[in-house]
Every structure is written in C-alpha cells, then in structure tokens.
Chain A
Amino acid sequence: MAGFLDNFRWPECECIDWSERRNTMASMFSGVLFFTGWWVMIDAAVCYPSQEQMNHAFHTCGVFATVAFFMINAVSNGQVRGDTYGEGCLGRTGARLWLFIGFMVLFGSLIASIWILFGAYVVPKKEVYPGLAVFFQNVLIFFSTLIYRFGRKEDVWTPNSKPPGRQTTSGGGIARSQTPTLNNQPHSKHLALPPFCNKRTLKEPIFDRDVRQEFASTPFVRTNCGLNGQQRS
C-alpha cells in the first residue's frame, strides 16, 4: 500500500520532444503573460474612466515596460558575447549598453507601478483596483520579458561539434557558425538590431579564414574530397 504509485508513469508521448518545444512553450507563455497584463490595464481603463479614479498618466508605466520588453529581446545573447558576423551598428559594447538600458527601464517601470499602487491608492485610501491593475500589468510584463529572454535556448555551437540537428547544443565557448552562407546573410539568426540599425555592415568578408579547415574536423565531411590541396572543381 505504501508504494502503490511507484510504478505509475505518465502516458508516454513520444510525439512531443520537450527539449525542442521549450522555446515554443516559453514564447507562448510569455505571450500569455504579456497580453494578460495589457488586458488587465484595458479593463481598469474601461471601468474607471475618470481622471480622479485612475489618472491617465499611469498608462506610461505599462508603455515603458512594453518598450523595455522589445529593447531587451531585440538583442540576442550572441550579440552581447560578440559572436556574430559583422557588428551591426554598435557592436558588442552597444549591445550591452542597449540591454542595460532596457533592463533599467523594465525595473524602473516595475518600481514605478509599486509606487503608484501605494502612493496613489493605498495610502490615500481610494478605491484600489486601478492601482492593482497598474501593478499587475507591470508585474506581468516584467515576468513575460524575463521568460522570453531567458526561457529560450539559442543555438550555440563550436566548429568541432555537431551542427544542431534535432537537439540544441549549448556547448561552451565563443562560437562561429560552421556553414558558410551563400548569399552574404549575417549569421546571427536572431531578431534584428534596433530599428535605427537596419543595415548590417560586414567589416570583413565572411570567408576570412579557411572555413574548410574547420569543416574538415566535423564528422560530416569526408576528408578526401580536396581539402588537402587536391584539385576540386
């Protein structure tokens, strides 16, 4: 009787590979939180339309939190590490600065919403729902940002590891992608840089080093196809 659940197993579902679905689940959960936050605020704005009940300036907290969400998620971890081909407009330092400012705005809006809740609603003993709505909007956007930023895994691979087929390798080190691109696309597969940087400038050609040497060490390349100086058409 004591261990009657020991042999109980959840029904196996082989069709879903959770490691692959992690990114999808994280982005969907983040979407739920983000938009729930906004609808809470819309609800408060609809139900308490007057300026005395809810000062319309309190919307700015949520707006800044949304701006912070897009700022934080616009740069990828690869850009902050300095991995990517080309440097975009600002390079690694610019990416770090961007991320820093984004997080500051996010934390600032959270603190501002707490201040609004206590300073404008709890202490003056007004009807507290609009203050709670501002607070929950910012809390939800805060957690949504964190989940979207840190809940997804990026593909990081080194020249000597397998390319990420069905699994994402989070193996270490500064990495550059193995496969040379054909049409000069930058290798970072992540969201583009901020809107004012709409063109990537490649400071160096993509083949700045002998990619074939790196290619040769992978298990997917036969070593007798011209990499030792033999002719190859």
Chain B
Amino acid sequence: MASDSPRRPSRCAGGVLVRAQAATEQSYMESVVTFLQDVVPQAYTGAPPTDEKEKIIWVRFEKADVNDTARNPEFLEMHSGTSDPPLCLMIGYTDGMQIWSISLAGEAQELFSVRHGPVRAARILPAPHISPLKADGFAEKRPLLGVCKSTGSSGTSPPYCCADLYSLRTGEMVKSIQFKTPIYELHCNKHILVVSLQEKIAAFDSCTFTKKFFVTSCYPCPGPCLNPIALGSRWLAYAENKLIRCHQSHGGACGDNAQSYTATVINAAKTLKTGLTMVGKVVTQLAGTLPAVTPDEEGTPHSASRRSPPSPGVITIIDTDNVGEGQVLVSEDSDGEGVVAHFPAHDKPISCMQFNPSGMLLVTADTLGHDFHVFQILTHPWASSQSAVHHLYTLHRGETEAKVQDMCFSQDSRWVAISTLRGTSHVFPINPYGGAPCARTHMSPRVVNRMSRFQKSAGLEEIEQELNRAAAVGGGGAGGMGGSSCILGGGGGMGGRCSPIPGMSSSPSGSPLHAKLSNQDSYNNFTNNNMGNPRLTPLPSLTVVLPLAQIKQPMTLGTITKRTGKAKPTPQISPSKSSGGEFCVAAIFASSRSWFLTNPNMKREKDQSRQSVVDSLYIISCYGNVVEHVLEPRPITTAQKISDETPLELSTSPRACWTLARTPQWNELQPPFSSNHPLVLASDLVQYYQYLLAGIPPSSPGPITRHESSDSLASDHSGQDDEEWLSQVEIVTHTGPHRRLWMGPQFQFKTIHPSGQTTVISSSSSVLQSHGPSDVQQPLLDFDTDDLDLRSLRIQPVRSEPVSMPGSSRLLTDRRGQTNIMDAGSGQFDGRGVTLLEVCGSWPESFGVPRHHIGSADISDEGLRERLADAMSESPSRDIVGSATELQREGSIETLSNSSGSTSGSIPRNFEGYRSPLPTNESQPLSLFPTNFP
C-alpha cells in the first residue's frame, strides 16, 4: 500500500499514510437523540502535529473506479465481503485539493494533492461504459479528474466557468469545457458528465465529452447547492421551475405534519397537490390534532399553469439514456420522452436530493430543512404521467431552519444520514418499501421483507389493504378516522393522484361530490386493480420518522465541551466561522475500519464488527478529520416488552479518527502518476473489465499489471459451469400469498386425466380418499369436458390402500420408504412439519428405492404387483373411448397412444406417473440419469 510516488519528497513520506487513532469516548452515549460528541484529533503517525492547517472549503466522499464494487475485478472475486472497497474522499482547500483513500485496513493514503488555487468542484471520472459502437476517446488518458478552478485553463475566462479534465496518468489537461456562467457542481456516472450551472444543467457524453443534452428550466436554490441535482446510474433528478399537469406523476408529496402543513398551506403553491396523511402508529407521537381542513383556493383552470410564476418544490426525473439530444424541456407540448417522473416534492425550493444506491428512492430536502422527504419512484415504461411517486417517509429534523449539504444512504437503504450546514449529521432509519422502522426491520443484518412470516400467514396484508381502502373512502367524507392511516384534505390528495385528468378541480373535502369521487377512485383500485399494479395501488401511508442520532461536529461546541486525555488544546482554527457558523461535512456508510484498534492481531473475519447490523458512519468535517462512528441500533429501552414492532433507538460512538488535513509544509502530489498508483491501477482494471463486457479486445488501455488475473478473468468457465449451477437455483422468488389458490376453499383443483381415471380428494379434508369414479357426480360439463373424469388435487398425499406385504420386516420398511416416495416428498414433510423447503443437492438414496422395490416386487410377487396396480387404478377402461376421441380432437395423438398403451399394459400409466418422482416418459424412462442409475 505504501507505494509512494517518487516525486514525493522524503520529508513527507510518512505523511502520506495516516493511521487511525482511537477516538475519545468521553461523551459516549449521553443521550440517544441529542448526542454531542467531541472527537479530538490526535497526533498521527509520522508527521508532527502542527498547529497550522490549511483552510478547507469543501469535503466529499467520492465514488470512483477505485471503489467501484460492480466493475473493479478486485472486488468481484471477493464477493462475500471480505474485501470492501476503500473509501475515497476529496478535500477542497482554499488553494487546491487533496484526494485520499482509506483502505479497509484503516490506512489512509494520500493519492493526490495540488495547490493551484481554489477548486469549487472536482470529480474523478469513472471509466465509461463502452460498446463496439461507442469507443472511449480518452482511454489512454484515464483516470481523468474533472475540476472546476477559479482560474480556467485559458486564463481569460471568468472564475469557475470552466470544467477542466486532467489526466492523472499523464498529468496533462485533455479537455476543457467552457461556460458563460459559473459552474456550481460536477456529477458523473459511467455514461455522462453533468455540469450544473445557474438554473441550467448540461450533460456530456463520458466517452467523447461532446454535449448530449441540457436543461434550462431549473429552479434556483439559495444554497449551499445552488442547483441541486441527483444523478443515479441512469436517471437525473433536478428541481423544475414549474409543474406541467399533463406530465405529472401520480402521488408526490403529502403534507408533512400539522405544523408545517398549516404553516405552508397559505402560500401553498397552486400546483402542489398535497393530501395530508396523518399517521397514528408511527414512532412519532404526533398529537391527534388534525388541522382544520383548509379549502384549497385552487380554482385555476388547468391551462393557467403555463403562465403561472415558477413554482418551487417540483422535481423532474429524466432518463439520461432516453431524453435524446439537445434541450430537454418538460412542457405541455412535448411528448415527455425520457421523462421518468414529474411531481411536487416540497412547498419550498428544493435544496438537496439524492438517489439511494439502487436508484428506486429519492430523498429530498427543501430550503427550510425541517423535513426531508423520501419518495419511491414507481415508473411506467413510457409515460411520466402514468408513473407514480409514493411519499414513503417524512424525515423530521426539527423546527429550526437548516441548510442541507449532504445526504447519503447506507448500501441496503435502511439508513439515511443527512448533514446540515451546521455540521450536524442526522441519522434516520427507513425501509426501502416504507412503513415504520422497527426492531424487526432494523435489528437484522439483512433486509427483511415487508411482511413478516407471521403477517403473511395471518393474511394481514390483505386486512391492511382493506383498512387502507376503508380509510381512503372514509377520509374523503369524514376526516378523522381511527384507522392506521387516513387521507385528509382529500381534495388535494385525490387531485394529486388524478390530476392528470383535465378539468378536474379539487373540491373541499367532505362535499358529497368529493366523497363520490374518492369512492370511485378507491373503487377503481378495488375492482380493477386486481393484478396489483404497483403504480395504481392506494398510496401507502406516510410515516414520519425522527432522527435516531444527531452527530454534531466537535468544533461547533469545541470551546465548551470539556476535553480529557489531551493536554494540548485542539488548534483553534476557525476555517468556516467567517461564513456564519457553517461547517462543511460529508458522510458515508461503509464497513468498519476500526477493528484493528481494539485487536490489531485479530483476523478480520473473526471480528465482531462483521456481525454488526449496520455499517459504520464515516463523517469528514471541515477540519479534515474523518471519524468512524459505530452505530448500534437496539429496541427502545423503555419498551415494556420487546416485539417485532418495538421502535428503535440508536447508540453511536466514535471509534476511530483520521486526521487528513494538510499543512502548508506538505508537498504536493501531482500527476503524472505511475501505473501502480491506486487510481491509475483501478482505472486500468475497470477499463479492462469494460472491454471484456463490450466484447472488444483492449486497445492498450494502459499497462495491465495483473495479467495473470486478467487471463483468469477471460478464461473459460465452462468447466466450472457444471458445478456452479447448483448454487444458482432459486427456490423462492416472491412473497407468496398466505393462501395459494389451490388451498381452497373457494377454489377446488381438479385434474382431467386422459386415461380416464378419476380422483377426488378434497383439499380441506384430512382424510385420505380413495380415488374412484364414485366421487360426487359432476354436473354435466361442457363439450370439452363432458366425457372426462376429474381428479382433485392431492392436497393430502395420495396413498394406496394398505396392501399387506408378504415377507420380512425389511420389506415393510422398504415399503415405508416407498410410500414416502409416492407422496413425492410431501409425506416426509408431514412428519417434519416445520421444514419450509428442502433441497436435495444430490440424488437422495431413497429415490432409488422405489424402482428397486417395484422391480423386486415384480419378480417376487406377481400378485402384489397386481394388487398395487389395482390400488392405484380403478376402472381403467371406463372412459377410454371418450377420452380418446377427446384427445384426437385436440390433436394430441402422441398422448393418446401413450395413454392407451399404458392402460393396455398391466401397470397403468398413472401408476408409473405417481410412483416415479421423475418426470418420466414411457419411451425413455431412465433418460434423465443415464450415468447414475445403479
């Protein structure tokens, strides 16, 4: 790891690597909710503590090739989690910037450091997605660093108006993109580079850096992100300056809570169609004071929105792959191509937003910063007006104003950390599918499904849906309901959902008209939406969540908090004090790196932190300190009884600290970098992987240093394939209904047997039924089935009548086994009961038994065979003719011959079919296991 650049002066050689220090724990867990901690940076190894640090203007955790788990082969092979990617972080100084990586071993390594004037924004551009049709024009220059400096490359342009792309491999500037107005921020994914400007967004192809599309209708935000956008793997979300009804998605923001709703309803945007959803059962004990229903003064016809002033709080999500070239404009005239969703998210201007790692959720903040909204984006393949946006959570930070500067999700989207400009990071629990976070959902290391097994088996989902439905219906007319949720201000709520309907204006809730509307609406949902169209289901109940932890930066209270264990006072620099108590921080969730502090010799796998249910939260502050906070959720201690639904509390403790801020004494670390520099190395690997994906030979994407591994990557895995498929078998792919269709009682499954034998076994009866034609006479059937006999489903295993077996007890046990086989496994399950699923990887021995047994029976006792046959088939000849004609009409002659052939034999066909656990065919009975059958 200690691969220093040769350019590095020796004096600072030790400064490149920074090891973590144990963070002080003096303030450990004083309070769950408002928890102040004071992390004191201690001396780092190698470099003497200096009093003077350079002033930091921004910090950010970066996702680049070096920590791209999806494409960097280094992480592909160790998929089980033994090798987590390093953290990559950037620090912007008043005179330059720095890039660090923190490995899993807890070593922070400086990767890049320049002093060429202030940098407003910087990104390490990931290796682009390439294809045979689209080559990367800059392959030999990568990795590229995109920066926005005060002094542009040309020197004549105004400050911060130029996005320069530097090659870290060669050190040269390979591209410079000029703008007329200052650049606020750079974003990138493997397809595009997005530059956000004043009320504008420009996107560039990541292979050629030619212009792809641009957006000019952004709503400005006072800061700190002046033009907030969120870029996912494919989607781009931005704040639109108006709401266009014909593209509006269903759903959108619901009112937050009583206070903020009443506070904002006066100047509520005409376009913001809020319905107020009160949630009674969530963690927040919102008092039951429901606000008086405010009549929406909305009377404006639908066409007026065109001339209306810019409306804040509207979000548009576009599919960057699909929007085409040129200007992207959401308007009534456009066809909305490439628009994924378009919805009101807040009353106030949007100040920050972020996609979760999978890209299904979007968390947003407005300029007030009281509440953050989590939306689930439910898309329709080609119309934003048919998409739905479900407001799952309102994350309630507080009643004071705060500006959000950073948001991040944990990898499994169960935790959100939102950092404000005051330097406080708020940690919220959420579920990717909504609902109140509780012990069941957040105490397990893995994401649990929405319905617990208990809920599923009790059919609670259906009941809940009924309740929601009832509430939706009742909410329009009555308002206050005791149900789990109800939609108030129904006019708005419904309008939000149905507003694409032209001319539909909302009416005061409670009016009969509206009650009718909502009835119809829920009726539509009830009857029509029977396939569970996710976009049309009733809006999920909104959950209000309070932060479980608030992690403040030490210096905010630095002079007040007592300090122990360190004599020397922390250097009292106040880098950001000038800007009114604003502290730049950034946070990220990642696996713990502090394990070595407690037990340096311990193997990582054995470390207890592997069992932690939530990743550690890393926060970098404006002082250049990265602190690892260990998060430990637990059921709330005041709970009388801990159940699945118990609310959570969260204890956080700082565990490790890296001091990364550079001092004026440090030398720069500038490109060109050698090929073993981590960034260059990672870029090579990822580019090579992209070449492999694209199926084109690498055109010298730089030196591949790991040829042997590359070869093994490309090697044929066909040999491995055979063994591998076993682990790829998927058993359960969905949450089944609590009662399957065939379980009855409304439905009864009956099978039509070409051979004309019948069985009726009631699904509910526990009694084994003999199969015979003596079952309840069917009413005359259709022309298709009149002549057929039916079998009911074998809910209970089919067993033959007890047949006395001649011979020893061994035979009896054999027969016992055989019975199990005949049940096709279900008999065994009767016994074991709790086994949910059983998968036999290899051919179980017992499956070989029946054939043996039948064979031996054949030899030993002809009579037994006859009796078995009798037991299994009754009146085999009864309807042969009928079924035969039937089959002929259906054109299945092959089957006909099969069935007639088998019935003419001594053992009826369905005997064979039932006995054999294998899908057999008469013509090749053993074809499945040509090699293994003894």
Q: Do A and B bind each other?
A: no
Residues of B near any A CB (own CB < 8 A) = none
Residues of A near any B CB (own CB < 8 A) = none
